[in-house]
Amino acid sequence: MVKDGFYFLLPLLAAATLAASFHWVAVALVLTGAAAFVAWFFRDPHRRVPSDPATIVSPADGKVVRVDEVVGGNRIAIFLSVFDVHVNRAPIDGEIVRQEYRPGKFLVAWDDRATVENEQLLICLRGEGEIHFSLIAGLVARRIVPWKKAGDRVNRGDRIGLIRFGSRVDILIPAGCRLQVKLGDRVRGGESVLALWEGNP
Q: Which of 58, 134, 167, 192 is catalytic?
A: 167
Cα–Cα distance for residue pair 105/145, rounded to 1 Å: 17
How, if at all, do strands 62-70 and 120-126 pair?
unpaired
Three-class SS state of 109: coil
167 a catalytic residue: yes
178, 196 in Cβ contact below 8 A? Answer: yes
DSSP string, 31-76: HHHHHHHHHHHT----------TTEEE-SS-EEEEEEEEETTEEEE
Tell me which residues are annotated as active site: 167
